[in-house]
Structure 1
Amino acid sequence: MLDKIERIYDKASDWLGYFTAALMILMTLNVFYDVIMRYFFKTGNIAFQEMEWHLFSIVFLLGIVYALKEDGHVRVDVIYDNISPQKQAVINIVGTFVFLIPFSLLIASGSIGFVKEAYVTGEISGDPGGLTHRWLIKAVVPLAFSMLALASVGYIVKNINIIRRGGEKPKEMQGGAS
């Protein structure tokens, strides 16, 4: 049962990883367009320039969930790398409960007011020709941290499975035919 739950969370995280990769391609094309227009045609578009950092923000915020699934997050590896996979899993579980979930929920709930304020006031870019509906980009913050809190459950299940298996990877991850 826990293996199935882990696979569901992994697939959801993978989908989010593909989505952010597609956004990264869009952001790259946007930057390319902006550079060509600015340096070769001596013109530019404020909305496209703002779209660069909007897309970067979305890639960064949603990419955190995929980084958690891939163990690509930052940690102090001096001690961590020299202990057994089961002890690593225990550290991951405790760290997730003590730090990751409370922090994610704090940021998610604390940022909702900023989104509401931007929506109610009709906040737009301060630059002429900039993007409107600033609340949309601000809404990604509570969304991303809510998704991170949810993905933390999958990360805990993954680490429980590591402990259950005695540190061994599941059959589908060992590279053999199943």
Structure 2
Amino acid sequence: MRRAFLAVADFISLVLGYVSQVLLLVLIASMLYEVVARYVFRAPTLWAFDVAYMATGALFILGAARCLRQDAHVRIDFLSSRLPARVRGTIEGVAYLFVLCPIYGWLAYIAGQRTVRAYMTGEVETVSPWAPLMWPFYSALMIGLAALALQLAAEGIRMLLAPKGDDTFKLEA
């Protein structure tokens, strides 16, 4: 059961990591198109700014769970690096599982409520001349936050059972 949960969390993080890579390509393509349209053809787009901020926000939050799984988040660990692996793993496991996971789960819930409300009301970006629908963007934020909460739970379990540097119990999926 535990291995299945970890495998599911890792798989979701992996897939969303690939989605965030595709969104990076969308961001690059849209910005290149905007530059050419604006400076070569003197015809700027209405949608480039909206695509840029939505793609950037979505790719960062959708890639966050994968980044956590790969232990690629920036952290300041000058104190914790001096602790034994078991103590450090326990502290990180408790923080991930009982502090951060519930916080990000709650944020995902709030984002889900905002997504449903935006869908039901047909909410659009009010400061944009293009006025895109907002629920797809809110959906991406909700999915990314939920995946991050799930990955925090998985990493918390891993840390509590097998802290980094301790090879006595491996739970790699």
The TM-score range, normalised by the shorter chain, is 0.7 to 0.9
Contact (CA 8 Å) 2:124, 2:132: kept in 1 or not?
Answer: yes
8 Å CA contact 2:97, 2:157 repeated in 1: no
Identical-residue share of aligned pairs (%): 22
Question: 2:53: which partner in 1?
Answer: 53
Superimposed CA distance per residue, residues 113-164 of structure 1 (whole angstroms, 9 cap, x where no aligned partner): 3223322221123333x1432111112222222222212222123224424x
TM-score (norm 2): 0.82
Taking the aligned partners of 1:90 and 1:107, their CA distance within structure 2 comes to 24
Report 1:107-118 matches (<5 A). 107-118=107-118
Q: Distance in 1 between matches of 2:71 and 2:30?
A: 30
Task: State the 4+ residue runs in structure 1 displaced beyond 6 angstroms.
Answer: none
The TM-score normalised by the length of structure 1 is: 0.80
**Amino acid in the other structure paired with 1:39:** Y
Query: CA, structure 1 residues 166+80, in 2 after alignment: closer, same or farther (shift >3 Å)?
Result: closer
Mapping for residues 1-178 of structure 1, pairs under 5 Å? 2=2, 5-126=5-126, 127-128=128-129, 130-163=130-163, 167-168=166-167
Q: What's the CA shift for 1:47?
A: 1.7
Give 3-state SS (helix, strand or coil) of 1:71's partner. Answer: coil
Which consecutive residues of structure 1, in runs of 5 or more, have no partner in the other structure?
A: 173-178
Distance 1:166 1:53 in 2: 39
How far off its partner does 1:102 sit? Answer: 1.7
How far residue 7 of structure 1 moved from its aligned partner, in angstroms, is 4.3
Q: How many residues end up aligned between the 2 structures?
A: 171
Which amino acid in 1 is paired with 2:51? M
- The alignment yields a C-alpha RMSD, in angstroms, of 2.7
CA distance in 2, matches of 1:144, 1:23: 13
Structure 1 Cα separation of the partners of residues 7 and 113 of structure 2: 34
CA distance in 1, matches of 2:132, 2:3: 44
Take 2:49 and 2:115, find their aligned partners in 1: how far apart are those partners?
22
Q: Partners in 1 of 2:70 and 2:85 — Cα distance?
A: 15
Q: What SS does the corresponding residue of 2:124 show, helix, strand or coil?
A: coil
